[in-house]
Amino acid sequence: MLSKLLSPLCIIPFVLGAPAPSAVTLSTPGGNVPATILGPYSPVTTSFSFPLTSAASSATSSASASTSGVSTTGVITIPLSSYSFTPYPTPTLNPRPPIYPATDPLNPPSVSSDPQVVPDFAPAWSAAYQKAKYLISDYTIEEKVNITTGVGWAKGLCIGNIPPNKNFPGLCLEDSPLAVRSVDYATAFPAGIHVASTWNRALMRARGLALGQEFKGKGVNIALGPMMNMGRIAQGGRNWEGFGADPFLTGESAYETILGLQNGGVQATAKHFINNEQEHFRTSESSNVDDRTQHEIYAHPFLRSVMAGVSSVMCSYNLINETYACNNDKMLNDILKREYGFQGFVQSDWQATRSTLSAVAGLDMTMPGDTTFDSGDSYFGGNLTDYVNDGYISMARLDDMTTRIIAAWYFLHQDEAYPVTNFNAFNSKDEVNNKHVNVQADHYKLVREIGAAGTVLLKNENGALPLNKPRNLVLIGSDAGPGKFGPNEFPGQDGSDGILAMGWGSGTGDFPYLISPLEGIQERARQDGSSVFWDFDDWNTALAGNMAYGEAVALVFTNSDSGEGYITVNGNKGDRKNLTAWHNGDDLILAVAAQNNNTIVVVNSVGPLIIEPWIEHPNITAVIWAGIQGQEAGNAIADVLYGAYNPSGRLPYTIAKDVVDYPAQLITKGSGSNIVTIDYTEGLFIDYRHFDQANIIPRFEFGFGLSYTTSSDTDQEDLITAWEYGKASPIAEGSSTALWLHEPAFQVTFEVTNTGPVSGTEIPQLYIHHPSSASEPPSVLKGFTNVEISPYDIKQVSITLSRYDLSIWDVVAQGWRKPDGQISLSIGASSRDFRLQGDIPI
Ligand code: BGC
């Protein structure tokens, strides 16, 4: 007697050529070891009363300053969690290899395409805490406070500096997420958004490691990256510094980047915590976010950062639910330190500290130290000393702050012959401190590889790409050439008149050099004997058309830039004022396409653009989304154009047909003196989640990207996308027997067990249950197989389903269509004897 179909059911979209899942039996990671239960936590909300400090007028910058900084002009009450004054325990000290190996940040688990190992940093943190506690055991209050207080704006060699004390050499904090900022002899890597669009963990890790090595070589203790805000707003000025518009992709990118950075020796900083999603009003807006959305979307990448052992977290400028981020007990103490078990320290964004009492809300370090640049006073410093002396802030809390900062330094082994700072970030002409240490190694190779791997092929028709020894090519648009005065002509990269390979603001670095597309393509053209022409004038569209006319390939380049809000470029106050290509891009592309039926568009953009004016133009045969590639941009573009690199990049955000299709819009109206309210009413439905939910067809969806091996299937892919959105297949010759409709699309895998002593054959049957909107019978047979199985044996069985199997006939449209709603299925021994259930994942 057979007892069958008892094991888990696994349904996966079927990919031709991809290996079938090797097993479907679920096992518990780490075996059946019971989870470590931490001591009971009873949430208690207690109110404490403090004297109010008017810091700007009365704070002092030195820890030893008198108590006159404290005034008792009023009383504020802030709700604090019960743990606010005491350190949190380390999450677990019982590492359970092999899934949870005890891990040192200098020796992280190797990168895996499907990570199975969860590094446990708790023992390393614990050892670091012991050393830190010992080190500060003879520190005075003032000395402890000095460890928490930056020396003040531009008062040290780095963008942020903690002074030395006794045996502790002090700390150098330096930007940015893509380079060691304000130095020479360092590499300008692709931006965060570009490495995210590789969807390749090994490249994310390698970039982190190379960056970490460069920071260490320059004597930086704390790198101010990665940045992991979420791209909630398509125009968000700093989106390119981060990893795209999905929490999982951002979380994995952050995780790998941090493991890499810290493996290189430098402390990483996860920033900006949290909800700094636009540059307009970044210091005066309250992002109002519900708890579930906060956890599932915006905080998730920070959770992954903590799991990567991140040493520091930077709180952001904005308010969250009406409380400033650096003063936010809920976010810093309750979520980050208690719930996530974060063992490192929280530093403020530059001038984001708003109060001495931020210390009890979870802030450990104020940066750059003064309340406002050059003000000469500090919310910490003398004020913090006074607050501790007067008992408003406990010694335990000050000890915790100091311990966390010094423990992070031990955690990264920076007490062991770490290089001293060898540059002056504020003065490139300072020949005493600028030692010009070359830390670049051969990282340019990685830059080129990531540049190509993050490039997304959006359109490729008539075999336009890869280029095959074209007779000639014309390159049109300023983005194809070098900047007029070299790659660093704009301070803070606040503009570009050549190839765009970085946004602007603090998230930048100086380019050692920058390969333009002209240079990359010419080098290759030399090999092929092709003639190369160019025209970098974006505004003379008549000339562009003339130049393109009659040439074998017309490559037209455009871009779109954005950056940090303290700089405005062409009316873009950090955030982009629209989603239109810069430098006359749309008109330039159309002018070229009007004259050349092999027009290939290359876009270097910080984020999505509306490309409706030209994307369907029949003369535009290919589109390459080349992102923000760093110093090897031109070579990376040439590698993709010529097929030296088969495109594998995928969009880390959705490209909409219309800006209003995006779920959340940039807020530009409000007054800097009032708090601007930004309600995250879209909740969980950012980017593609909204397009899916609201049934809006984007131009190119999140995760989209072609490669040369599938480029001939573009028409089929369009049909599949339309089908997934519930559109009926168009009627035509052979439309009902079309390959895309009948190819295997989903694979259902399960196990059949013979629990008896006799061999036999079982007939597993697969029934589809359409949603009620389809008005189909409750169960319809769509698959079966026969399984011969010996006594007590288990067999893994698969049944595949096509799109046709899941479709209903649409009488009006005369085509096959997926019904609205969830399609489920059952596997059974008859049409009434179901043993397993599942949902189709579309
Ligand atoms: C930015 C941070 C940066 C800091 C130091 C701030 O304006 O928001 O990302 O690390 O400056 O430059």
Q: Residue 370: CB within 6 Å of ligand 1? A: no
Widest pairwise Cα distance in the chain: 91
DSSP 302: H
Q: How far is the CA of 159 from the centre of ligand 1 (A)?
A: 9
C-alpha distances out from residue 86 to 121, 356, 546, Å:
21, 17, 72
Q: Residue 271: CB within 6 Å of ligand 1? A: yes
Give the number of the atom of ligand 1 that is nearest the alpha carbon of residue 175: 10
The pLDDT value recorded for residue 97 is 65
SS3 of 134-179: HHHHHCCHHHHHHHHECCCCCCCCCCEEECCECCECCEEEECCCCC
Alpha carbon nearest to ligand 1 atom 11, residue = 350
Residues of the chain under the 50 pLDDT cut:
1-8, 10, 13-86, 711-713
Q: Residue 338: CB within 6 Å of ligand 1? A: no
Q: How far is the CA of 371 from the centre of ligand 1 (A)?
A: 15
C-alpha distances out from residue 827 to 532, 579, 764, 768, 836, Å:
61, 48, 6, 9, 5
- The C-alpha atoms of residue 341 and residue 333 are separated, in whole angstroms, by 10
Q: How far is the CA of 325 from the centre of ligand 1 (A)?
A: 15
Alpha carbon nearest to ligand 1 atom 4, residue = 350
Q: Residue 174: CB within 6 Å of ligand 1? A: no
Q: Residue 158: CB within 6 Å of ligand 1? A: no
Q: Residue 273: CB within 6 Å of ligand 1? A: no
Torsion of Cα atoms, 163 then 166 then 169 then 173, to 10°: -30
Residue with tokens 């709603």: 821
pTM of the model: 0.79
Q: How far is the CA of 185 from the centre of ligand 1 (A)?
A: 22
Nearest to 356 by CA among 398, 320, 318, 321: 398
Question: Which residues are CB-contacts of 695 (< 8 A; sequence separation ≥ 6)?
Answer: 725, 726
- The C-alpha atoms of residue 307 and residue 206 are separated, in whole angstroms, by 18
Q: How far is the CA of 349 from the centre of ligand 1 (A)?
A: 6
* Crossing angle for the helix pair 517-528 and 633-641, to the nearest 10 degrees: 40
Q: Residue 506: CB within 6 Å of ligand 1? A: yes
Q: Residue 175: CB within 6 Å of ligand 1? A: yes
Alpha carbon nearest to ligand 1 atom 3, residue = 506
Positive or negative, the CA dihedral 646, 470, 500, 422 is: positive
The pLDDT value recorded for residue 79 is 45
The pLDDT value recorded for residue 670 is 87
Task: Look at the chain and count its residues.
Answer: 842
Q: How far is the CA of 357 from the centre of ligand 1 (A)?
A: 22
- The C-alpha atoms of residue 301 and residue 200 are separated, in whole angstroms, by 17
The pLDDT value recorded for residue 731 is 83
Q: Residue 213: CB within 6 Å of ligand 1? A: no
Q: Residue 159: CB within 6 Å of ligand 1? A: yes
Please list the alpha-helical segments (H only) found in 503-658. 517-528, 541-548, 585-595, 633-641
For a ligand 1 pocket test, name from 281, 350, 372 the mutation site with the most ligand atoms within 8 angstroms of its C-beta.
350
The pLDDT value recorded for residue 40 is 23
Alpha carbon nearest to ligand 1 atom 12, residue = 506
The pLDDT value recorded for residue 91 is 54
Q: Give CA 658 to chain center in angstroms.
A: 24
CB 509 within 8 A of CB 176: yes
- The C-alpha atoms of residue 542 and residue 770 are separated, in whole angstroms, by 56
Q: Residue 349: CB within 6 Å of ligand 1? A: yes
Positive or negative, the CA dihedral 675, 679, 680, 683 is: positive
Number of other CB atoms surrounding residue 785 within 10 Å:
13
Q: Give CA 570 to chain center in angstroms.
A: 27
Torsion angles phi and psi, residue 735, rounded to 5: -65, -30
Question: Which residues are known to be catalytic?
Answer: 349
The pLDDT value recorded for residue 672 is 66
CB 593 within 8 A of CB 622: no
Give the number of the atom of ligand 1 that is nearest the alpha carbon of residue 176: 10
- The C-alpha atoms of residue 226 and residue 404 are separated, in whole angstroms, by 20
Q: How far is the CA of 193 from the centre of ligand 1 (A)?
A: 18
Give the number of the atom of ligand 1 that is nearest the alpha carbon of residue 241: 9
The pLDDT value recorded for residue 117 is 80
* Crossing angle for the helix pair 381-389 and 141-148, to the nearest 10 degrees: 140
Q: How far is the CA of 743 from the centre of ligand 1 (A)?
A: 51
- The C-alpha atoms of residue 764 and residue 753 are separated, in whole angstroms, by 11
Q: How far is the CA of 37 from the centre of ligand 1 (A)?
A: 38
Q: Residue 224: CB within 6 Å of ligand 1? A: yes
Alpha carbon nearest to ligand 1 atom 6, residue = 350
For a ligand 1 pocket test, name from 564, 566, 567, 575 the mutation site with the most ligand atoms within 8 angstroms of its C-beta.
564
